[in-house]
Each structure stands twice: as C-alpha cells, then as structure tokens.
A and B are shown apart, each in its own frame.
Chain A
Amino acid sequence: MPSEPAPPRGPFDVAIVGGGVVGCALARRFALAGAAVVLMEKAPDILDGASKGNSAILHTGFDAPPGSLEAACIAEGYREYEEIHARLGLPLIRSGALVVAWSDEQEAALPSLMEQARANGVSDVAPLTRDETLALEPNLAPSLRASFRVPREGLIDPWSAPLAYLTQAMAHGAEVLRGCAVQGGTREGDLWRLDTTRGDVSARLVINAAGLYGDLLDEALIGRRDFTIRPRRGQFVVYDKPAAALAGHILLPVPTALTKGIVVCRTAWGNLLVGPTAEEQEDRATAPLDHATLDALRAKGEEILPALAGHDVTAVYAGLRPATEEKDYRIKVHEGGSYVTVGGIRSTGLSAALGIAAHVLRLAEEAGHGWQAPNEVAWPRMRNISVAAPRDHESAGNGGIVCHCEQVTRREIEAALSGPLPARSLAGLKRRTRVTMGRCQGFHCSGPLARMTAGAFDTPMAGNG
C-alpha cells in the first residue's frame, strides 16, 4: 500500500540511532541536559538487539582492564544507577558475587584478580577459604578450592531499567520513533538530514548507538568504519523459581582472556540462570539456540550447584554481544563534533550505560554543544516486576492475575499497553510485564491474554516463543 511521504521532522538538537540500553541512557542524559532529543529504533519496539538477552548483572567493573574507558564507564554507571534506581522504581538486589576457583591453577589466579579489582577502585573484595565459601553458599559443589567475594555486584531488571531511562527522557520532551530505521544521511550546513524509513529527520548532533549494526551505520553516515562488529552469542538456561533458593550470590568462574565464563545467578524475577556461552557468529539479527549446548550448560550448572539436578528449566534464550576486534568500547567523535560513535559496547553495557551517557555528554560539550538544563527533573516510576519489592497483585484493584506463573495482573498488562511507550508486540509486552515468561510459557494464560491484547499488536498473538 503506497503511503504519503512522512513530513520531515526536526531539527532536533540530538538524534540517537538505536533503542538499546545505551541509546535509552543517552536519550535520558541529553534530555536532562536540556537538549531536544529524538531516538530512532528500527525494530517495532526498543530493546530488540544486544539488550534483549543478557545476564542482568550490575557489574562493579572489578574485572575490567584497569585504566580502560570500559572500566571508567562501568564505575560511573554503577554509581549513578545506585543513586537513581529507587526514584525510578527500579530494583537493585545486592546479592554480591563470589569468584570461585575449582583448580590449583584458578586458585593461584585469585590474588591477581583481587589486585585488579582494587586497581579498578573495587577495594572491598575479600578472600574466602573453601570452608568460608561453603558456609556462605552451602549448595556449591564441595570440590571448590577457594573464592573471593565482591560485595557490591548486584542484580537488576535489564528491561525495566532502559525503559525507565527512556520514559524519563520522554518526560523531558524526547521523541521516540519506533519502526524507524536510519538508512543514510547527509550534512547540510550544521544540520544532519537523516534518511529514515519514517521520513527525513534532521538534527545537529547524531549519536550512533546502533549496537550490533554500529559499524554499518558509521559506513552509511560517515563513509567509514573504525571497527567491525563480530557478534558473539551467549546462550542461557533459566530454572524455575524454587531453584533460586540454591544460590544467594552471583557465582562467577575465574575469567579467561576470551570471556567472563559461565555464571550461575538468580534473576531479579526470582529465577536462577546459567550462562552465557561465548560463540562467534556472522548473523547480527538472530541468536539461535542449540540443544547440545543448552544440555552442556545444564550439566555445567549442576557441576557448580549439584542440587540443581532436580529442578525444571523454564526458559532458554540467547543474546548477541556487539564485540569488535578490540576489547574496549569504541567511542569516538567524528565530523567536526557533529557525530559520535558509541560502538562495541560488548558485555558490560547494561552496567555502564549511564556512565557511557555521561561520558558522551562531556564529549559533546567539549565539541561545543550546550543546552539549558530544566529547572525541575521528572522521576517517572516504573511498576515493580521484580522480587525486590511488593508486586502489583498484592494491592487491591489489580484486576486479578492473568499470568499465574509470573503473577502478572490485568492492571499491569493494561498499563503496559498504554502510557507513553506502549508495548506493540508480545515480545515488548513480555519485557514490560513478564507475561508468559514463566514455567508454563502460556499453557494456562494464552487464551485470556489473546483476548486482552486483541488489536494492540501489529501482529496478533500467535503463541509464545
């Protein structure tokens, strides 16, 4: 169906390409600085790329390369999250982490890892003997050698957080264009004119936060790329809620040069996850699951926590890290200060996003951009869907529970289908509310849910993924 060309939009002060956690944090930071912001996301909803599936850990950065931009952004991001989370209604479960050694070699590596942590400003790490470790985590396999504790590593909700950042940006006037892919652009005077699938959008400053497509967007807009994205897949298995009682801390292995390794930890929703793998792949769009790999993850989980053996797996998923040929983030100002690439935010972007945003704002200010910050800051509150605070179903007028496994109420679903950034797909609704994400995956609730969402989605509900 041919449609009218959309009228040009703008000029905006700042155009952000990409609605992952990094783009959402950037939108917030620049909107709070007083800029007129537009965020463009090619998918029907935000959080459709790398930010779709991660381990949901708020890292302290204890194991980051000291002196790296990544280390600095994680530290700053952590601090800001800690400061603002309560005002936005976001959880922070201060579980702490244990880095556990299972061999002589790994045990020998612990002191230098603690040294590295201190160099990164994480000075509260503490060594634990085998017995001390087992006293803290009695379900760990007794074959462990020793560990150290990182008290401030925590668990957060990886979807509510970016949603909160963007909602706060919108409360400060930011515009969000979903289903809007940036295809190219030119500079005319001091304005960029971006060619998008929803018409022309003009802005003074363009920020590339395109995640797994960052290199391609650089090529399309500035005609060159400083890095190449090499998607690195991470698969996970998620256990049902009773398994969450088996581990209080985030259980980390001794990292290798390639990866942080297989983690066992609770989630903010009260499940237990085991993952991720680290597998290079070409495809940037989909992260396929592999039965044998999932089986191996299960076995690995049971090696670490033997009691996991009797527990049900309720979900499996995979995410893609936007890795590049280098370890550190690829953040760079181009085109006389009118364009910033925020690329290669590989495996710590959830923790670092707020810090990255603050860093990029400073770069923009150094490049001569400046705005008048608003006098009052709005703090929209997210509905809590984590185990860290009371849930909606506990208060009156909730409309009754629709999804029993995750205890999602009618009122929560209705709220997610309306408001400033309504869910427009089942995937979007799941990320906002967790409907159908529990142990039955829609066995019980698909009927009522289909009735409730009739007309709300671009493609009507055809079952769970």
Chain B
Amino acid sequence: MADLPSKVDVAIVGGGPAGLAAATELRRLRAGRVLVIEREAEAGGVPRHCGHSPYGLREFGRPMLGPGYARALVARAEAAGAQLATGVSVTALSDGPRLTVTSEAGTGEIAARLVLLTTGIRETTRAGRMIGGTKPGGVLTTGGLQGLVYGAGLRPFRRPVILGTELVAFSAILTCRHAGIRPVAMVEPGARITARHPAGLLPRLLGIPLHLGTELAAIEGRERVEAVVLRSGGAERRLAADGVIVTGRFRPEATLSREGGLTYDPATGGPEVDEFGRTSDPAIFAAGNLLRPVETAGWCWAEGRAVARAMARALAGELPPPAARRVARAGALAWVVPQRIAGGGSPALGTLQVRAARAASGRLSLSVDGHETAARALRALPERRMLLPLPAGTGLPEVRLVAAP
C-alpha cells in the first residue's frame, strides 16, 4: 500500500458523482487532505458504463454521455487537489473512524477525521426478486448488461425481455439499441409505466410490445435462456426470448455501513442520516444514492456537494450536536430522508424527501407535535420524487400521506 496515506482529514468511500462532487467541494473549502477511495480501476461510478445521455445538465450545463461526464467529474476533483486512490476497496469500517482497505498490494488501514460514504446503489437481481424457473446464462441487470456492452464490447443476447419500467429500463433499451439487440417485450407488474413521461414513449417508438400488469413468473432454459413465462390476470403464457434484463428496484450498496454498525433504515435500505448527512456515528457521513433508491446523477452530485459543506463545518467544530428527533412516517409512504433532524439551521439536505409506497391520490402533510406545518395535494406514484420543507422547531415531526377517499 505504498502510495496510500495512513492518515487523512476526510476519506471518501466511493468515487461516483456524489463522492467526486464532495471531494471537489471539500478541497475548495480547504478541508485539508481529502482522499477518494474507489474500488474500480477508474473513478466515475455508474455513469462510466452509461454510454448515453442525459448527464451533466446541472453540473456542466450541457447534456453529456455517461463516460465523458464521469471523466469530467474526475478531472475536477483532481484539479481541486483531491487524491484519488483507484483499485482500492474499503472492506470494513471501524471506530476512529478507521477504514480497512484492500488492493493489489494487500490490506491496510487508513485513519480519517471524518469519513463520507458514497457507495451508490445496485439493482435488485433475479435472485432478489425470487423469480422462478431455471438458472441459465443471459439473465442480467441493466448494470451487468452495460458492463458487457460498453465495458467489454459483447452482445450477450439478441432478443431479450426487459423486466421493469423505471427510468433505468429505458437506459437498458438505449443500451440494447447501441449493441443491435432487439428486445421482444417490456414487462411491468404494475398497472402503468413507472418512469416519467416522455420515457414511456420509447418502447412504442421502437416497436417493443409493452405488457402492463404482468409478472415474470419463470425463466426457462438450461445453458441459455430459451423462454420466459408471463403471468397476467391469472393466465400464464410462454414467450420465446434468449435473455432477460432485470431492471430497477434499486438497493443502496449498504453492506459496508451495515456491517460497520451504523444504524440502518430498512425502509430506504441505506444508513440513517440527519439533515447534515450525518449517520449514527457523527464522524461518518453519507450522500448520494446510498441514502435511498434512486436519484439522478445530478441530484447525487448536488447532494455530495452539500454534505461536503456540512463536513467542512464539522471539521471546524461548527455543526450542532446530533439529536435523536426522528421523522415519523404514516400512510402509504415507502421512506423518508433524512430520517433524523438535529436542527440548528443551514442543513445539507435542504428538504424532506419522501416516496410513495404505491400509487395514491391524496394529501401529503408534514406536522410537528401534531400541528400541520406544510401540506399539499398530489397524485403520488412510486419512484417519483416528492419533497417537503424540513420541519422547523424542536418538536417531533411526522410526514403523512393521506389517500383521498
């Protein structure tokens, strides 16, 4: 571990948009020695393998392809004086805070005054969804597909079925187009497309049949996928296909924080944070998609930058002490971030972010000690961004989604 420092001011775990934005900002705020630890050979995170637009609108003011966007973020962080250690994985988090790292050179330890976790997300796999049938080759997440197509120049199949209609599924369609792959169907268990207009027009434009209200019941084939079994309205039918792309249902990459003993929120699947991005260990912060499934790169970038500012304040001893005021959640809400409120102003996460558990029309309301402080009527859909102002004062906040009768 020759060129790795044993002690830094801030260690950032994960060199995606959130981590790189934070590194750049921390250096700009003269936070001392800032090290970004990235396990892949190149920093940049998920966008490295997303050979499509749109990235960079918020950060660079123009639409960019994923790889170019990733390189631009890396260049900015390096220009700001952050040190990037690639090919280095963080395998454990312990008190101090200290990081156990491993690389080509074996294991080592790094001590930091503060740590920022920006380890991102992954998609729920075929196994995680417990899809039935056999286990042939040719079943991939979008991330896996992009690794093969953009990363290795391969065409893993020709006529796959795409499962899911979150935004990332349209990324899968674009990746297929790039590789000359023609999906035979898009399958969505819900009653409507999850992603926002106009992405939903894409399958129709490209002539990909869309099956709403349909489950992928089973996969068939021994060596390679031969068919899938679709179930809708109690009826099953077989559809010939040579691959399956299992998209979306993102899960935070939270194993490190969970094994490190940070309080875990089963609702988001990530560590619990307060409005400064502070986890249950006040020396460890978190930002980006690790906080919740799932936001755009631009959002994660802005969040990384904002949490970096809070960390600079923490280094200077200016952050209010952590407090255990939890944001309660009621009604058809999947999750709330931040989960705790310390109070004291200048938050890094400037709004309460919530997501609906299912489609519902009704009223989203925030109350403190039982008194409503903000509310709005809305038609909530799963996976759509919904925001509320952060609760003020020192009372106990609750967010509630009351479905209209």
Listed in ascending order, the chain A residues whose CB lies under 8 Å from chain B are 237-238, 240-242, 285-292, 294-295, 298, 309-310, 312-317, 393-401, 404, 407, 426, 439-448, 450-451, 454, 459-465
- Partner of B224 from the list A313, A395, A462 (CB cut-off 8 Å) is A462
A464 contacts which chain B residues (CB < 8 A)?
137, 139-140, 144
A240 contacts which chain B residues (CB < 8 A)?
255
Q: Answer yes or no: B296 CB below 8 A from chain A CBs.
A: no
Task: Please give me the residue from chain A that is nearest to B147 by CB atom.
Answer: A447
Other CB < 8 Å A-B pairs besides A288-B218, A444-B143, A462-B154, 16 of them? Answer: A241-B255, A242-B258, A294-B130, A312-B251, A393-B107, A394-B102, A394-B107, A397-B104, A400-B87, A446-B143, A446-B151, A450-B147, A450-B154, A451-B152, A462-B148, A462-B157
Assembly CA distance A397 to B106 (angstroms): 7
Assembly CA distance A454 to B148 (angstroms): 12
Q: Is the CB of B105 within 8 A of A442?
A: no
Q: Is the CB of A401 within 8 A of B102?
A: yes
Q: A441-B126, A442-B144 are in contact. Are A289 and B106 (CB under 8 A)?
A: no
Per CB-CB distance, the 8 closest pairs between chain A and chain B, nearest first, are A447-B151, A447-B147, A465-B135, A443-B143, A450-B152, A446-B147, A310-B266, A463-B140
Q: A396-B105, A407-B89, A462-B224 are in contact. Are A443 and B123 (CB under 8 A)?
A: yes
Q: A242-B258, A288-B133 are in contact. Are A401 and B89 (CB under 8 A)?
A: yes
Q: Answer yes or no: B49 CB below 8 A from chain A CBs.
A: yes
B102 contacts which chain A residues (CB < 8 A)?
393-394, 401, 407
Q: A312-B251, A441-B127, A443-B122 are in contact. Are A463 and B148 (CB under 8 A)?
A: yes
Q: Is the CB of A459 within 8 A of B130?
A: no
A–B Cβ pairs within 8 angstroms, 16 of them: A242-B258, A286-B222, A288-B132, A288-B134, A289-B132, A291-B130, A313-B128, A395-B106, A446-B140, A446-B148, A450-B154, A459-B137, A461-B154, A462-B243, A465-B136, A465-B139
Shortest CB-to-CB span from A311 to chain B, Å, is 9
Contact with A along B48-60 (1 / 0, CB 8 A): 0100000000000
Q: Is the CB of A291 within 8 A of B224?
A: no
Task: Please give me the residue from chain B that is nearest to A459 by CB atom.
Answer: B223
Q: Is the CB of B135 within 8 A of A289?
A: yes
Q: A290-B132, A459-B223 are in contact. Are A439 and B144 (CB under 8 A)?
A: no
Task: Please give me the residue from chain A that is nearest to B120 by CB atom.
Answer: A444
Shortest CB-to-CB span from A80 to chain B, Å, is 32
Shortest CB-to-CB span from B38 to chain A, Å, is 11
Shortest CB-to-CB span from B161 to chain A, Å, is 13
Q: A394-B102, A461-B137 are in contact. Are A407 and B91 (CB under 8 A)?
A: yes
Task: Please give me the residue from chain A that is nearest to B107 by CB atom.
Answer: A394
Q: A444-B147, A461-B154 are in contact. Are A439 and B135 (CB under 8 A)?
A: no
Q: Answer yes or no: B264 CB below 8 A from chain A CBs.
A: yes
Contact with A along B64-103 (1 / 0, CB 8 A): 0000000000000000000000010101000000000011
B133 contacts which chain A residues (CB < 8 A)?
288-289
Interface core residue of B131, B147, B222, B224 (most chain A CB under 10 Å): B147
Shortest CB-to-CB span from B221 to chain A, Å, is 9
Listed in ascending order, the chain B residues whose CB lies under 8 Å from chain A are 39-41, 49, 87, 89, 91, 102-107, 122-123, 125-128, 130-141, 143-148, 150-152, 154, 156-157, 217-218, 222-224, 243, 251, 255, 258-259, 264, 266, 269
Assembly CA distance A309 to B267 (angstroms): 12
Q: Is the CB of A443 within 8 A of B130?
A: no
Q: Is the CB of A439 within 8 A of B122?
A: yes
Assembly CA distance A399 to B143 (angstroms): 23
Shortest CB-to-CB span from B130 to chain A, Å, is 4
- Partner of B104 from the list A294, A400, A451 (CB cut-off 8 Å) is A400
Assembly CA distance A396 to B103 (angstroms): 8
Shortest CB-to-CB span from A404 to chain B, Å, is 6
Shortest CB-to-CB span from B342 to chain A, Å, is 25
Shortest CB-to-CB span from B344 to chain A, Å, is 31
Assembly CA distance A298 to B140 (angstroms): 23
Assembly CA distance A289 to B157 (angstroms): 22
Q: Is the CB of A315 within 8 A of B89?
A: no
Q: Is the CB of B137 within 8 A of A426?
A: yes
B104 contacts which chain A residues (CB < 8 A)?
396-400
Q: Is the CB of B130 within 8 A of A237?
A: yes
A313 contacts which chain B residues (CB < 8 A)?
127-128, 130
Assembly CA distance A400 to B143 (angstroms): 21
Task: Please give me the residue from chain B that is nearest to A465 by CB atom.
Answer: B135
- Partner of B39 from the list A242, A314, A398, A401 (CB cut-off 8 Å) is A401
Task: Please give me the residue from chain A that is nearest to B242 by CB atom.
Answer: A462
Q: A242-B258, A400-B87, A440-B122 are in contact. Are A316 and B127 (CB under 8 A)?
A: yes
- Partner of B243 from the list A398, A400, A447, A463 (CB cut-off 8 Å) is A463
B154 contacts which chain A residues (CB < 8 A)?
450, 460-462
Task: Please give me the residue from chain B that is nearest to A318 by CB atom.
Answer: B135
Task: Please give me the residue from chain A that is nearest to B257 by CB atom.
Answer: A242
Q: Is the CB of A398 within 8 A of B106?
A: yes
Interface core residue of B40, B49, B87 (most chain A CB under 10 Å): B40
Task: Please give me the residue from chain A that is nearest to B86 by CB atom.
Answer: A400
Task: Please give me the residue from chain B that is nearest to A445 by CB atom.
Answer: B147
Q: Is the CB of A440 within 8 A of B156?
A: no
Q: Is the CB of B41 within 8 A of A463?
A: no
Assembly CA distance A9 to B309 (angstroms): 73
B218 contacts which chain A residues (CB < 8 A)?
288-291
